[in-house]
Every structure is written in C-alpha cells, then in structure tokens.
Amino acid sequence: MRYLTAGESHGKQLTTIVEGIPALMPLTKENINESLLRRQKGHGRGKRMQIEKDLVELAGGVRHGYTLGSPIAMVIHNDDFKHWEDIMGEDPFPEDQKIRRTVTRPRPGHADLNGAMKYGHRDIRNVLERSSARETAARVAAGAVAKTLLAQLDIKIIGYVREIAGIIAEENMEMPIQERMEISEASPVRSLDADAGQKMMDAIDQAKKEGDSIGGVVEVYIEGMPAGIGSYVHYDQKLDGRIAGSVASINAFKGVEFGIGFEAARKNGSQVHDEIAWDKEKGYYRKTNRLGGFEGGMTTGMPIVVKGVMKPIPTLYKPLQSVDIETKEPFSASIERSDSCAVPAAAVVMEHVVAFELAKSLLEQFPHDQFPKLKEALDSYREEIRSF
C-alpha cells in the first residue's frame, strides 16, 4: 500500500493516488470529505481557509460505493486558483509579459532557499507552491481511505491537541476514545481540557495581534490494534519506526514521542516498562501503558499513544532577516497572508498519516485482495492471540 500526492498550493487541484486497498471495501466520498472538513477547521487558521471548501472527487478505483482493487484516485480542487490562473497556469508564459508575484526573497524556516538551490529555481514560487502545507489536504485524503479501512476492522483513531505555546492540556489517561473524539471535535483548538483550550485560544489571538506564530504538541490515540503488528525482524517494517518517519514528514513537525517519550531517559527501567498481566476475558495486557503501545517494533495490543511536535509556522507577519537571491541584499521578510497557528489542523493531519501506516502494516501482515478476506483473517488472528 502506498500513495502519491501532486499539486501546487495555488494550482488547479491536488491529486492523491492510493494503491493497494483491497477490493470490495465500502468507501464513499463522504468518508473522505468528513476528514477534509475537520482539517480545515481550528482557531488560528488564516483567510485561505475561508476561500477553500475542500471536497473530494473520486476519480478512480471506486464504483457504486465499493473499492475495485485498482488505484484510488482523488481530486481536491483549489478554489483560490481562479485568482492565480495567469501565475500558476501550465502553458508557456508569453515572453513579452511579466509574471506576477515572482519571489526572490527566501523566508527563514521554509523550504524556499534550499529548494531553490536544489532545483535551480530563480523564482522561489516554484518551491513554495509545493512545500506549502496545502499538500496536507491530499495526505488527509489518503489517510481517510486508510481510516475507513481501519474503522471497518474495529480500529479507532483520533488526533487532538496536547499543548499550544507552552499551555499544556491536563491528561486523563482513562478517558475512553469515544469521549476523546467528541470533546476534541467540539473544541475550536481540539483540546480535551476546556480550561487549557481557552488559554490556548487566548495565546493564538495574542500571537496573531503581535504578527507572530505559535506551535505545539499533538497526540494521536488508537484503540483496537491487535498485538504483534509490525516487526522485530526487519528494521524497515518496525511499525513505530514507520509512524515516526511519517509524522516527522508532516510540514513543520520536528519530533515524535511514543507513550512517555523523552521522559523515559530520566527514569529507571522499573518505572518505564509495563508489567504483563493476563485475564481470561481479554488475554494478555499491560498494567500500564508508558511505552505507548509498542515493544520491539510491534504493537502490544494496548492503546497506541504517539505525540508529534509542530514548530511555529515560519510565515510571519513579524519580519525576520533574510537575503534576496537576486540582489544579495539583506531584507526583512514580510508576508500578506498566513495562519497564526495550525496546530489543531495538524492534529487531524497527523491522525491521518498515522492511520495510513497502520493500514499499510496490517495489509502487509494479512495480504488479501478482497476486503472481506482481510477482515476474516484479522478476526481469526485476534482469536488466536486471545487464547495464546
């Protein structure tokens, strides 16, 4: 199972192709649109999200509400393209005319300078259009297909915000996943803690007023993954490793933690590892879940708890020093439009990129071309490990 995305931020459309989803799996555009809509929300989003109404067009791989086993092609149109047709059009540009909005001033913290040097672009727009976090809409579409598969295998997944600008949401380890889903969905910052949520919103408003941006920590929580998914045998099949890689690949993400994460460095082994217990009903389980659902590159059957760190968006109204690539003169970078905080949206993005890795590992372990057979195989594996 793999996916590819294409498309520029102010181009015509974003395109996603997902390959490897078995045939005969119920899938509708509503499954995907629900995820796209969630990604668009959140206190701190800028004006662009008022222009866009992200809706998917299923352009291949689905017929009459079921997957065909062929690649699933998805299109999200950029409504903003109508303002950018002359700038972003695919046809050769008339030589006697000047292209509007060329960019020669790389923004600190962005892909701008490194990307321009790599591809030899003198117009940095050729870099920023693709490195823009607009692309995460296409990744969410791929993850929404994966999430639909997981849901039908009784695996639930939710992403929410743990921290914004140093304001930390209180943690209730015992909170059931359904509650996590409902509370975060109702919060404009996707916080499970209402008091912290209000403070986060205040911090976002303050940052916006000051022309600054702020980052945070998001958490993805998963229930229903059986034990033993992933690998201790091959480094590239370790599921925690794959999740870490995919999370670090989200725009502006700088770090990943499982369970107590970096805190493990400061504790003794006896305070880190989770004791094993057995119960007639549920079989093996861990008395605690400090390792966040992973041991040896494989799931333990406990909830998976993974955090991702997002840096503040580097597009600032508050200027930072940089150098113009044409004149080599220093300048103060300033911009016209940005989100002051996209951490709530990033929680949705991370939920979806993690969902993709889970579905991919399941399909590698239980390779079936037909979805009902995958379901059957997983059910029988679940039974097998319960009585192990």
Chain residues binding ligand EPS by CB under 6 A are 9, 46, 48, 132-134, 136-137, 315, 337-339
Pairing of strands 13-19, 56-60: unpaired
131 a known binding residue? yes
CA–CA gap between residue 140 and residue 142 (Å, rounded): 5
What single string gives the DSSP state of each residue in 60-128? ESEETTEE-SSPEEEEEE-GGGGGTHHHH-SSPPPTTSPPTT----PPTTSSHHHHHHHHT-SSTHHHH
Which of 299, 338 has the CB closer to ligand EPS? Answer: 338
311 a known binding residue? yes
Which of 41, 382 has the CB closer to ligand EPS? Answer: 41
315 a known binding residue? yes
Which of 305, 345 has the CB closer to ligand EPS? Answer: 345
382 a known binding residue? no
Smallest distance from ligand EPS to CB 101, Å: 11
- Number of neighbours of residue 386 by Cβ within 10 angstroms: 15
Smallest distance from ligand EPS to CB 12, Å: 14
CA–CA gap between residue 87 and residue 93 (Å, rounded): 9
Please answer whether residues 161 and 191 qualify as being in contact, where contact means their C-beta atoms are separated by less than 8 angstroms.
yes
In degrees and rounded to multiples of 5, residue 60 shows phi and psi of: 180, 150
39 a known binding residue? yes
Please answer whether residues 229 and 299 qualify as being in contact, where contact means their C-beta atoms are separated by less than 8 angstroms.
yes
CA–CA gap between residue 249 and residue 272 (Å, rounded): 28
Smallest distance from ligand EPS to CB 331, Å: 18
Instruction: Name which of 41, 48, 43 is nearest 341 in CA terms.
Output: 43
Smallest distance from ligand EPS to CB 280, Å: 48
Smallest distance from ligand EPS to CB 352, Å: 13
Which of 110, 242 has the CB closer to ligand EPS? Answer: 110
109 a known binding residue? no
Which of 140, 164 has the CB closer to ligand EPS? Answer: 140
What is residue 138's DSSP assignment?
H
Which of 44, 293 has the CB closer to ligand EPS? Answer: 44
250 a known binding residue? no
Please answer whether residues 111 and 131 qualify as being in contact, where contact means their C-beta atoms are separated by less than 8 angstroms.
yes
132 a known binding residue? yes
312 a known binding residue? yes
Please answer whether residues 126 and 180 qualify as being in contact, where contact means their C-beta atoms are separated by less than 8 angstroms.
no
Rounded to the nearest angstrom, the gap between the alpha carbon of residue 213 and the centroid of all alpha carbons in its chain is 19
12 a known binding residue? no
Q: Return the SS3 of 195.
A: helix
Which of 7, 230 has the CB closer to ligand EPS? Answer: 7
Smallest distance from ligand EPS to CB 339, Å: 5
Q: Where are the beta strands (DSSP E) in 209-349?
A: 216-223, 253-258, 276-279, 283-286, 294-295, 298-299, 304-310, 321-323, 330-332
Smallest distance from ligand EPS to CB 134, Å: 4
Which of 127, 374 has the CB closer to ligand EPS? Answer: 127
- Contacts of residue 252, defined as CB under 8 A and 6 or more positions apart, other chains included, come to 133, 215, 310, 311, 312, 313, 314, 342, 346
Smallest distance from ligand EPS to CB 62, Å: 23
Numbered residues of the known binding site for NADP(+): 39, 45
Q: Binding site residues for FMN, as ranges?
A: 130-132, 251-252, 296, 311-315, 337
Query: Residues within the annotated binding site?
Result: 39, 45, 130-132, 251-252, 296, 311-315, 337
